[in-house]
Structure 1
Amino acid sequence: MGIRWQHIALWLAFIVFMLALPELVSKGTLRTIIFANFLAIFAISWDVLSGRTGYISFGHPFLVGIGAYTSAILSYRFGFPIAASIPLAVIATMIGGTLFFLPALRIRGSYFALVTLAFMELMYQLVQVIRPDLTGGTRGMSGIETITRGAVNNYYLSFSLMIIIALAMWLVMKTRLGTALSAIGMNEESVRGSGLDTTKLKLAAFMIAAFIAGLGGAFYVHYLGSIAPRALFDINFLFTIIVAALIGGASTIIGPMIGAFFLTFLLEYLRPVLPGAERYFIYGGIALILYMYQPKGIYEVAKQGWSRLRAARAGAGP
């Protein structure tokens, strides 16, 4: 699939709008958008593997956690500069994730999902009991060095990271690799029958997903300035990532971004009414209704709406 000038124009318009946003909204709203930017990164990472290939992963916080904990430990415990700890965290995520997930790539369906969920639970238990002097045990770590301060600076940093990843993945998915991964999601046996090595293709998708998850996790922990296993490996965090990708529009790159912003603001606006975990039932119900109405997500709803608008304008013309 080629790259249309209309798509480039839309990307540029989105970037210009987002760059101007700090002048239009409050600092509190900016902080909400920062979380949306990071959720978008995690959802894009999940979408590259699961949205494209159909291998539904329930262990994505496992990858995010490796990146976050590695960078936090290196910078907080050993005094590594952030410029060194983040790249090392990304490498550790790709290596550690591959050692665990590679055997799982040979299975699929519910078995793959259960194996990945087991890895997340394993990571949750390990960071609490193995070397708590390094990981902080159940209490985690606080006082971790931050990259920058202030809502505006962190907004521009998180947005820059998110848009670079999104654009890079959008371009990658326009290549033959992206086409092959989508084909695996539709019919893996046909792809294998065509002579392509599906294991290598899935490994490539996983390595890209691990790279993004590790990078996002490392930046995320240096934004928060703290890390705790209960928050990072919480089941709500896992399903927020998955739901963001699904209701936004899986296998589109743009869809997970839409879903991340939709869910982040939905949860934030529900907080005053339902301050506890009850609000997750509300957002889950809304997400279910949206997904039942249009399985391809909000992106497809918007796309169909735009097509109808153009058709109506064309019909009203001379």
Structure 2
Amino acid sequence: MPRLLLAWAAFAVIMLLLPQVVSPGTLRIIIFANFLAIFAMSWDFISGKTGYISFGHPFLIGIGAYTSAILSYRFGVPVSLSIPLAVLATMIGGTLFFLPALRIKGTYFALVTLAFMELMYQLVQVIRPDLTGGTRGISGIKTILSGAVPNFYLSFGLMFAIALALWLLSRTRIGTALDAISMNEEAVSGSGLNTTRLKLFAFMVSALVAGLGGAFYAHYLGSIAPRALFDINFVFTIIVSALIGGSSTVIGPIIGAYFMTFLLEYLRPVLPGSERYLVYGLIALVLYVYQPKGIMELLRKLGVRAGGGRTGRAGNV
């Protein structure tokens, strides 16, 4: 534990020093990577830990983003209040929709969550467009901070606090039980644990993180649009970030989010259109086939070789 905490502290120090050595343009890329890491960690806590693959995570992100945007932009609610209310709305709204879906498994659960995302996409366009902005979305949303450096510190602080909290939670007995559900849910249920409550807890934590990230994301961008938020490429990027980084870990989705963000950015000058998603999809597929446990496993093997053969569990981080 002390060594792992030291690693987290070193990571924080390195990131906090970045504004001194990189350009504002690079910082803006890292800001998007921080938000993608939040979304990937949120997805991984429900899908990576329990094995219930969700294709509708933007549904939760969208509730948080739209709730805070509408409250602050349309009704003048202070951001300090609109964001907590957005998180609460995400947890309540997501539970009402997803709780019945937690009783089904496999492909059916994935299809139901995808349907929820499509439903949200249609609803924000046709129901009360005077509030949601319809197909054009909402622009002119109040931003919390201005400038690359302040927003970098804000996004990283939020991402790091979430990551550390999820890491500590994963090391509890609840985290161990959630990992066991993904391996054999029947065995967990047979041991006397209520798997429905465990899955609901995982979903509530996931919804809290998604709502928090979505609300801050909207106030960073200053605008939101349904076409961008509920795009299939957005879902794909979140899932791939978690998988190639290392599913069912905490640091894995962060690594995957940074990898995917910079990969997309470097492909943009060569392939400015949606073709770059095909290229990064192929790269991600090759990496995932070569190492199904993700970049985290590659780093662990390098650490084992450097440490003279000592092994450890990638899930610890």
Shorter-chain TM-score bucket reads: over 0.9
Equivalent residues in 2 for 1:35-114 (5 A)?
35-114=32-111
Aligned-partner Cα distance in 1 for 2:188–2:158: 33
Counterpart check, 1:116 vs 2:109: no
Give, as a single letter, the amino acid of the residue that structure 1 aligns with 2:202: A
Equivalent residues in 2 for 1:1-318 (5 A)?
4-311=1-308
Using structure 2 for the length normalisation, give the TM-score: 0.97
Give, as a single letter, the amino acid of the residue that structure 1 aligns with 2:130: D
Map of 1:316 onto structure 2: none
Deviation at 1:145, TM superposition (A): 0.2
C-alpha distance after superposition, 1:1-57 (max 9, x if no partner): xxx221111111100000000001000000000000000000000000000000000
Where does the alignment leave 5 or more consecutive residues of structure 2 unmatched? 311-317
Aligned-partner Cα distance in 1 for 2:243–2:79: 33
Stretches of 4+ moved more than 6 A in 1?
none
C-alpha distance after superposition, 1:151-195 (max 9, x if no partner): 000000000000000000000000000000000000000000000
Deviation at 1:312, TM superposition (A): 7.4
Give, as a single letter, the amino acid of the residue that structure 2 aligns with 1:137: G
Map of 2:313 onto structure 1: none
C-alpha distance after superposition, 1:229-265 (max 9, x if no partner): 0000000000100000000000011100000000000
Aligned-partner Cα distance in 1 for 2:10–2:178: 29
Q: What is the root-mean-square deviation of aligned Cα atoms in Å?
A: 0.8
Give, as a single letter, the amino acid of the residue that structure 2 aligns with 1:224: L
Give, as a single letter, the amino acid of the residue that structure 1 aligns with 2:298: V
Aligned-partner Cα distance in 1 for 2:91–2:23: 37
Give, as a single letter, the amino acid of the residue that structure 2 aligns with 1:168: A
Aligned-partner Cα distance in 2 for 1:289–1:295: 10
Aligned-partner Cα distance in 2 for 1:236–1:39: 13
Aligned-partner Cα distance in 2 for 1:238–1:181: 23
Aligned-partner Cα distance in 1 for 2:230–2:25: 26
Deviation at 1:310, TM superposition (A): 1.7
Aligned-partner Cα distance in 1 for 2:231–2:126: 17
Give, as a single letter, the amino acid of the residue that structure 1 aligns with 2:100: P
SS of match in other structure, 1:311: coil
SS of match in other structure, 2:307: helix
Deviation at 1:283, TM superposition (A): 0.5
Aligned-partner Cα distance in 1 for 2:13–2:201: 32
Aligned-partner Cα distance in 1 for 2:10–2:70: 39
The share of aligned pairs that are identical, in percent, is: 75
Aligned-partner Cα distance in 1 for 2:208–2:306: 39
Give, as a single letter, the amino acid of the residue that structure 2 aligns with 1:113: A
C-alpha distance after superposition, 1:191-243 (max 9, x if no partner): 00000000000000000000000000000000000000000000000010000
Aligned-partner Cα distance in 2 for 1:270–1:202: 38
C-alpha distance after superposition, 1:129-161 (max 9, x if no partner): 000000000000100000000000000000000
Give, as a single letter, the amino acid of the residue that structure 2 aligns with 1:47: D
SS of match in other structure, 2:308: helix
Where does the alignment leave 5 or more consecutive residues of structure 1 unmatched? 314-318
